[in-house]
Amino acid sequence: MTTAGWIFMLTAWAVIISVLVICYVRTLSSDDADPDESTPLT
């Protein structure tokens, strides 16, 4: 694997994994709205 190959792969992995981790941390740390709240349909 060339140096450029490593750079492309590790950069892509780093971006994806960083976004993934940030998204899940923020999602799991934010409150869920009341799951039992239902809206009647008219």
Dmax over CA atoms of the chain, in Å, equals 62
Minimum distance from residue 15 beta carbon to another protein (Å) = 8
**CA 35 to CA 31: how far, in whole Å?**
11
Q: What are the φ and ψ backbone dihedral angles of 34, each rounded to 5 degrees?
A: -55, 110
Minimum distance from residue 5 beta carbon to another protein (Å) = 4
Minimum distance from residue 18 beta carbon to another protein (Å) = 9
Task: Give the residues lining the site for another protein (CB under 8 A).
Answer: 1-2, 4-6, 8-9, 12-13, 15-17, 19-20, 23-24, 26-28, 30, 32-33, 35, 37-42
